[in-house]
């Protein structure tokens, strides 16, 4: 038995907790599994498993080897999948993604549908959440984030779009409390924002350097806060794509439209790895190209999702 097959057999024994169950999963005779593990241990020069009549346990060396072998086989499978995809033009497997609710449902779902139609063997597992999610601990392949800046981390990131920041309020609110004429006037108005440790998560936070305003409602949902703004409970600053419909219908009115408020960057973040799966690389390219159709190019090279 070659080393690669022996590694796969060892992983099955470790996961199954025994030789007989591993043999059943591999659909081979139990003695074949035993010989493969013994040959692997002889090649390495150390024992990988403690064997008793009741159970099989990993040695300390076995624990280390199991982790390394799992990573190596996963990278090999990704490489093979990438090469198959490059030669056939089609990708397969499963992509687990998390993304903000509004951006995801309004802009990304149509693009994901297009991508899935082109790659019918691909499976999508999607999570819609305005709260920032760590893709590594949650097992996601990538996370789409909207923020004024990304927190420092070990994750890799690719900027794929940007959206102008818009400050808005309901007409009824402005009639009762007046229209802010300057940034300083914001001090007298309540602000609706998404709480975040390092900048906006979904992302509703003033980015103008304005003085602190009264915070009346905090929520981890941009859609919920937009509803409170429409109800006249305060000012809201959001990416243009979040409030575009409400602005066009007159349910919200822009405030300080001539003041540069900055922009919210749309990024795809993913675990750093030497080899990115072809399915993820192609999806990111597709999203970046697709978002360009919604808007005009910005000076920074990213695409702007305009209102």
pLDDT at 276: 74
Asked whether 108 and 144 are in contact (CB, 8 A), the reply is yes
Angle CA(155)–CA(75)–CA(7) in degrees, nearest 5?
Answer: 135
pLDDT at 101 over 50: yes
DSSP 212: P
pLDDT at 303: 54
Is 7's pLDDT higher than 50? yes
CA dist., res. 224 & res. 70, Å (int) = 42
Record the pTM.
0.64
185-239 pLDDT, tens digit each = 888 888 786 544 344 333 334 444 444 555 667 777 888 889 999 999 989 988 8
Q: Name the more confident of 132 and 174.
A: 174
Domains of the chain: 3-87 (1.10.10.10), 96-307 (3.40.190.290)
- Check residue 252 and give its pLDDT: 96
3-state DSSP percent of the chain in helix, strand and coil, to 5: 45, 20, 35
pLDDT at residue number 298: 36
pLDDT score, position 142: 92
pLDDT of residue 278: 82
Identify the pLDDT of residue 214. 59
| Average pLDDT along the chain | 81
| Max avg pLDDT among 26-40, 146-160, 206-220 | 26-40
Q: For residues 250 and 230, what is the distance between their CA atoms, to the nearest angstrom?
A: 10
Give the residue from 133, 149, 270 showing the smallest Cα distance to 199.
Answer: 149
**Per-residue pLDDT for 299 more than 70?**
no
> Taking the CB of residue 143, how many other CB atoms lie within 10 A of it?
24
- Position 210 scores a pLDDT of 45
Tokens of 70: 């799992």
Alpha-carbon distance 280 to 112, whole Å? Answer: 12
- Digit-coded pLDDT (tens) for 43-70: 889 999 988 767 788 999 988 888 888 8
pLDDT tens digits along 275-294: 677 889 899 999 999 988 65
Token pair 């099955």 is found at 12
Reference 82, options 275, 237, 235, 243; nearest CA is 275
pLDDT band per the 50, 70, 90 thresholds, residue 305: low
User: Which element (helix H / strand E) includes 164?
Assistant: strand 155-169
Q: Rounded distance, CA 233 to CA 262, Å?
A: 24
Range of 125-139, 144-158, 195-209, 245-259 with top mean pLDDT: 245-259
Distance CA 200, CA 145 (A): 10
User: d(Cα 257, Cα 138) in Å, to the nearest integer?
Assistant: 39
Residue 307 contacts by C-beta under 8 Å, 6 or more apart in sequence?
Answer: 164, 166, 240, 241, 243, 244, 247, 248
pLDDT tens per residue, range 65-91: 888 888 787 777 767 766 665 555 678
* pLDDT score at 73: 79
């Amino acid at each position: 038995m070659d080393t690669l097959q022996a590694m796969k057999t060892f992983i099955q024994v470790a996961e199954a907790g025994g030789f007989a169950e591993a043999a059943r999963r591999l659909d081979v005779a139990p003695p074949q599994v035993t010989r493969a593990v013994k040959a692997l241990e002889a090649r390495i020069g150390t024992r990988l498993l403690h064997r008793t009549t009741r159970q099989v346990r990993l040695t300390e060396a076995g624990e280390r080897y199991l982790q390394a072998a799992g990573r190596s086989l996963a990278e090999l499978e990704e490489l093979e999948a990438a090469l198959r995809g490059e030669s056939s033009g089609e990708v397969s497997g499963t992509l687990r993604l998390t993304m903000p609710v509004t951006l995801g449902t309004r802009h990304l779902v149509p693009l994901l549908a297009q991508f899935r139609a082109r790659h019918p063997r691909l499976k999508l597992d999607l999570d819609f959440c305005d709260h920032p999610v760590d893709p590594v601990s949650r097992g996601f392949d990538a996370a789409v984030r909207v923020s004024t800046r990304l927190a420092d981390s070990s994750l890799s990131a690719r900027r794929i779009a940007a959206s102008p920041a818009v400050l808005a309020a309901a007409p009824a609110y402005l009639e009762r409390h007046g229209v802010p004429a300057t940034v300083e006037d914001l001090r007298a108005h309540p602000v609706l924002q998404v709480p975040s440790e390092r900048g906006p998560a979904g992302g509703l936070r003033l980015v103008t350097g304005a003085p602190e305003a009264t915070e009346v409602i905090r929520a981890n949902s941009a859609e919920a806060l937009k509803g409170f703004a429409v109800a006249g409970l305060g000012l809201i600053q959001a990416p243009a794509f979040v409030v575009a419909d409400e602005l066009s219908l007159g349910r919200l009115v822009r405030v300080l439209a001539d003041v540069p408020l900055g922009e919210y960057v749309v990024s795809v973040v993913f675990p750093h790895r030497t080899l990115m799966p072809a399915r993820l690389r192609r999806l990111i390219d597709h999203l970046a190209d697709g978002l360009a159709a919604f808007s005009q190019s910005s000076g920074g090279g990213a695409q702007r999702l305009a209102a």
